[in-house]
Every structure is written in structure tokens, then in C-alpha cells.
Structure 1
């Protein structure tokens, strides 16, 4: 039987049993649709995270605290954000480190940051808020915008000025619709003047920047927290092509300043934008592989359904198989016929699954965009390759066993039966 005839017989068989065909391909449809959705969602999630990372600046190197092997520099009593997260605080990273790094030839500018959570009051209103202490250059490097008023200056930072810039949500919670500029809020029993309101920014990296209260880092360190260290610092580079080289220079400076001779005992971590993207790609790939493994289980279930249906088809067509073998068909011809029929069924499910997956992925993107997420509707070419390959492979794997059974049938017995 030539290939064209096999195709005709296969479609004729499926058309004669439409309901059975539909139920047979259903498992493949669900599995293949899931593959398309997994790949598309992975790209959508990646686009959100990339957008959030790039919002901090595309030409930056970040240096953050890291727990070293030893215990030097730990303080468990600190109230900073890092201490809350780690149960301890590493005190070796300082503003002097930031200023020293800024002297490097490829560094344009830099800022430092530390966080604390404090009770903030305005008249009768009391609100727990995150205090974000930073330097004046934060506004330019981080691409943040002040909607009203202004950001604080270097002079105010060095003078430990009692000034704050409010995030949009914390401003609304404390002042409502009234003007907050020039008014005072209380933090740790001291009055701080509101000099600015930040433009609405939203949540990034699971942090709601609109609930932050920004203030000079030295003010937060000395007047509120009673510390000298910082949690992290960000430096803007002039030439991104030299970012890796500059990051190594930063490591050298900090090891010298922190008296570290063994890199394994670094109490800091330096990360370039390229390294951030590599980490993101690794995490996205790992998640995609995990989800594909789960999807594969669905495909296997669908494949078992195809296996059982193919056995039923062979039983129904015993006479046809016997007649073909009686007139000279080889066992290989019988195997090819039923394997191709199985592949046609899985490819049919694959095509429908791809179309369904595209629709679902598009709907997910629309919902995400409606919720103001920077989600891009992307259909990676790899998803179509994987979908087609899975359809063909599962068709062959779950069609070969029934096909071999059909090829071993005795033509005399089948015609007699």
C-alpha cells in the first residue's frame, strides 16, 4: 500500500468513528496546548522581570551584602531590611566603599541604600512604613521621577537633614487628597518635613515602591537606626562593554578594604546587568523544563489512550489485515500503515492543540496587560518545534506496539475468523 493510500484509509477510518477520534486526540490536544502556553508564559514572565530589572538602569553594577563563611561583621540586632531577611546584618559595606568605587575610571556615578521599617504618624494617623535611605544620585541612576516637590540633595544628606520624599500610596494613606508638601510627619519621635512626592511606580521585585518613604541615607543611619553600614550600592558605568572588567576591579577594591584574602569569604557580591540576565535566563529555563515535565505526564496519558484505541482498531480490521497479507503485503507494510495512522491521529491532536494553545496564551497576555503587567505576548519558535516533535514521537511510540501486533497476525486465522 503506497503512502497516499495509507493516508486515505486512515482518514476514512477516523471519519467513520468521529466520536472515538475526538476522544482519542483530546489528551494530545490538552498536552500540546499546554506546551504552547508554557513557552509563551515563560517569555511573558521573563519580559516582566526584564522590564523590572531594566527600570533600575541598564548600565549598572550592583554590589550587595553576602554572608561570608566567618562571623565577623554580623549583628543580629539591626532593624534593616537585610537583617529582617537574614536574621543578621553584615556591617562591613559602607558609604566609604561606595565613594572609593566611584573613583574607578569606568564609573559614572553611584548610590547606596539601606532600609528599615518604622512607625510613621501624622496627626492621629499611624502607619508602619518602609524607610528607604539613599543618596541624592539615586533619583538619576534609578530613573525615578518626583511628581511634586523635589528630591533631597547631597548637602541635605551630609547635614543629616530631617526631610523625606513620600511614595504615592503612603502619601495617600497619610494625607488623602490634601497637599503634603511642606508638612511634617513623625518618625521615631522626630519631625520630618515632606519635600517631595514620588511618581507612581508600582510593585517591582515584590517591593511596593509606592509605599516607601525616601530620606537621606545618613539621616536614616545616624538619626534613626544608629548604624554606619549600608545594604547595597549601585554604580553606573560609562562603557558596558567593560562592565565585567569593572566588576572585577570593584571586587579587588572591596577585598582590600575589608581585609579579605580568600574570595570564598567575600562578604559582598558584585553583579553586572549581564549576569542578572544570565541568572534570569537560567531560572526561566529551569521553570520551563519543570513545567514541560509535568505536561509530558498529560501527553503520556493521552498516548495511552491512543494505544488502546489502536488496539481496538486492529481488532476491528482483522479481516482487512488478513486479506492484505494474503495478497502479498509484508509485515513491514502492515507496521507502517498502523504507525502512520497513529502519527496522523497525534498530529491532528497536535495541530488542534497548537491553535488552542495560541488562543489561551493570547488570553493570558490580555488578562496580564489588563492588570497593568508588562507582559509581552510571544510565541517562541521552539514551542512549535517541541509540539510537532512530541506529536510525531508519541504517535510512533504508542503506535508501534499495536502495529507490531497487527503484523504478526496469521492471515489464515484472520480470514477464517
Structure 2
């Protein structure tokens, strides 16, 4: 113990006389350690974001969404389908018959069809670009959404193609400020809509800012505005989640029959294995698990990249320690002359190396926390549900990396000194 304390005192004195080299050695490791904290913090933030999405839509909700049929399996097929949609391909086969048949399933409590489009809306010369969320009255219950002013539209208004509109709180603020928007008229593609309500503030989920959307009856939008007869999503609320897999399989069977699609020969292995289907059915919980698994893989890749940067920093520590050893050859000789053993000399320089990486670890941890906090503030200011949290394993990993790299890259210079 006395040897370690003595080595610490010698190390601190050495740092004072080699401030520039010590700072350079610390810098590389600091960046690597701060990256570890940021990666773990980002993981927690993304998990909270996804959990908020599931909570918002409901864990007991199953979604059918359009997709381009693909000949490839797994992620490759998913990527091919997504690229086709981005290039303008359309799927127009998800229609009211699908919704009607899904509503008749015994485990389905309620369901609604959804059509989304981006449109310009105008009010007294003011123009806003927004997403139009066209749905039915069931949306308000299934998505657990609330109305702050006025009311939501009814099924009767949807069936009668009523030209009524409910505003997101953000759009209401942009167009009306503190004024009462109820019974005012807004134009969507020159079609007049009467404002009947304003939604409660909801914020953003993934790429959707619900406060900047407008909500209209889906049949009204289909028939009076865009001239289509299909949905892009169908969301179903289930009675019992114990039978979610069976219900999802029943939904697939219904939609394949309605769309004249033969069932696949192979067993579906993941939510990405949808083959020739022109739709995908996934539960919110299943989607969360898939994203969680995907992010775990991404985290491992990022940590591998961070490890490479730490190795570079560790090499810097080794080089600095090697220079320090060469500069202090007279000191080493003097210590040996007064009775210091080789192990004492090696311990001294090994402690110096570990102390450098530990100092870098502390600075890197503080930097990582501050950067993660800044990301959290920015994300929440933008309306995202992003929690600031750093798991204990982040600090443990940072500490272990600091000590291990200090020993690993300080060992050679320490042995050289001895």
C-alpha cells in the first residue's frame, strides 16, 4: 500500500512537470470515454421514445400498413419495399372491405382506417404545409387522444362526407393564436372545412408531430379532396392480448383473401418476412421489440468503433509514457541506487499510466453527461419524448475501459523503465 501511495505522489509530480504531454495523452481517451456515455444515453433516450410511441398508440393495438411486395427475405426485402415507396410506387389495395372484415373478428374491439397526405391549408391568406390525418371517430378512443376545445367528428359525419376539421394544437396556434377557431373556415386544396375542435397537445412520436397535423373524416378526404378509395393503415384495438398472434394471423388471412394473395410456403420468422404480401401486420409491442433488438446491434457496432478510438488514445498514452520514461532515465537510475527494486519502478510508471486514463475517464464521463443532457434538451424542445438517463453499466464500462487501457498501454513503458 505504501508503494502505491508513493507511486501516486510521484505520478502527480510527473504530471505537473509534463503538463502538455499529459494533456495530449488524456485527450484521445477522453473522447472515447465520452462517446461510451453518449452511446448508452442515446440508447436510453431512443427506448423511452419508442416506449412512449407504444403507450400513445396503445400496447393492445395491431396495425396493418401498406408495403410493396418483395421477392427478398428479411431486412433486404424490407429495404427493397421501402425504396420502392420512396420512389413513388403506390399500393391501393387496402380498402374498406379489409376494415369491415377485421372489425368482425372476435378479438377486435374496434378499428379504423387511416389515410395520410401532406397538403397546404389556407386561412385568410395564411398558408401552412401540414400532414392531414384522415380517419374515423374510433381514432379518438384507440389512440387515447384528447380534445382540448370543441369536439371530434362522429361516424355519422364520416359517412355523410361532412366537411369538418379538427386542428392540432400547433396548427391552431400558428393560424389563430389566442383567437377562438371554432366554426371558422379553413381550405384544404380549395375545399372548405369548418373547424369543430382542437386536439390536446401531444408532441412528437418518431417523425410525426401530432400538434402540427389536422384531422378530417377519412371518407371526406377520399371523396372530396384526393379522389381515392384506399387506406394506408388500418389500426385495430384488441380485447385480449393473450390472443394477439392468432388475431394477427386471422387479419393476414382476411387481407390475403381480399387481395388475392397466396399464403407463403415458408414460416414467417420476423416482422420483416412479409414476402409477396402488399401489407404488413405488426403489433406495437412486436415493433418495439424489433426496434430494441435493432438498436442493441447498432449499440454493439458503435461501441466497437468507440473501442477503436480508445485504442488510438491508448497508443497515445503509451507513446507519451515511453517519452517520459526516456526523459526520466537519470531519476530511475537514482531511485535504483538508493534501493528501489524493478517492481517498484514498474509500479510507479504503471500507476502513472492508469492515473492518466482514469483522469481522462472522469473528464470524458462529465463531457458525455453534458453532451447527453444537451441532446435531451434539444429533443424535448423539438417536441420529442426523450428522457435523460444514463444506465449504471455506462459508468461501469467507462471505468473498466479506463483501467484496462491504462494497464494495457502502460505496461510496455513501465517494463522498459524497470
Bin the TM-score by the shorter chain: 0.7 to 0.9
Report the RMSD for the aligned CA atoms in angstroms: 3.2
What secondary structure, in the 3-state scheme, does the structure 2 residue paired with 1:265 have?
A: coil
Shift of 1:243: 2.3
More displaced 10-residue stretch of structure 1: 169-178 or 93-102? 169-178
Mark the structure with the bigger radius of gyration: 1
Partner in structure 2 of residue 269 of structure 1: 280
Equivalent of 1:382 in 393, 396, 408: 393
| 2:22 is the alignment partner of 1:11 | no
* Structure-2 separation of matches of 1:323 and 1:18: 20
Do the aligned partners of 2:191 and 2:225 also contact (CA within 8 Å) in 1? no
* Structure-1 separation of matches of 2:371 and 2:178: 41
Shift of 1:234: 0.8
Shift of 1:191: 3.1
Shift of 1:381: 1.8
Partner in structure 1 of residue 225 of structure 2: 224
Do the aligned partners of 1:94 and 1:230 also contact (CA within 8 Å) in 2? yes
Do the aligned partners of 2:53 and 2:205 also contact (CA within 8 Å) in 1? yes
So what's the TM-score if we normalise by structure 2?
A: 0.81
Q: 1:19 to 1:217 in 2, by over 3 A?
A: farther
**What pairs with 1:34-113 in structure 2 (closer than 5 Å)?**
34-69=35-70, 85-113=86-114
* Structure-2 separation of matches of 1:345 and 1:125: 60
Shift of 1:222: 1.9
* Structure-2 separation of matches of 1:108 and 1:9: 71
Do the aligned partners of 1:136 and 1:154 also contact (CA within 8 Å) in 2? yes
Q: Deviations over 1:179-221 (max 9, x none)?
A: 3322333344443322222223333332332332321111212
Do the aligned partners of 1:247 and 1:270 also contact (CA within 8 Å) in 2? yes
What secondary structure, in the 3-state scheme, does the structure 1 residue paired with 2:68 have?
A: coil
* Structure-1 separation of matches of 2:122 and 2:366: 56
| 2:316 is the alignment partner of 1:305 | yes
Do the aligned partners of 1:6 and 1:341 also contact (CA within 8 Å) in 2? no
**Gap regions ≥5 residues in structure 2:** 72-82, 265-274
* Structure-1 separation of matches of 2:170 and 2:14: 64
Do the aligned partners of 1:132 and 1:214 also contact (CA within 8 Å) in 2? yes
Q: Deviations over 1:207-260 (max 9, x none)?
A: 332332321111212222222210001111222333233222222222222222
* Structure-1 separation of matches of 2:124 and 2:257: 49
Q: Deviations over 1:280-301 (max 9, x none)?
A: 2234334434543443354234
Partner in structure 2 of residue 397 of structure 1: 408
* Structure-2 separation of matches of 1:389 and 1:200: 44
* Structure-2 separation of matches of 1:32 and 1:84: 40
* Structure-1 separation of matches of 2:360 and 2:129: 55
**Gap regions ≥5 residues in structure 1:** 71-81, 408-417
* Structure-2 separation of matches of 1:371 and 1:214: 21
More displaced 10-residue stretch of structure 1: 53-62 or 133-142? 53-62
Do the aligned partners of 2:183 and 2:196 also contact (CA within 8 Å) in 1? yes
Do the aligned partners of 1:7 and 1:341 also contact (CA within 8 Å) in 2? no
Partner in structure 1 of residue 271 of structure 2: none
Do the aligned partners of 2:166 and 2:214 also contact (CA within 8 Å) in 1? yes
Partner in structure 2 of residue 256 of structure 1: 257
**What pairs with 1:18-417 in structure 2 (closer than 5 Å)?**
18=16, 20=18, 22-23=22-23, 24-69=25-70, 85-263=86-264, 264-318=275-329, 338-362=349-373, 364-366=375-377, 368-369=379-380, 373-407=384-418
* Structure-1 separation of matches of 2:331 and 2:130: 79
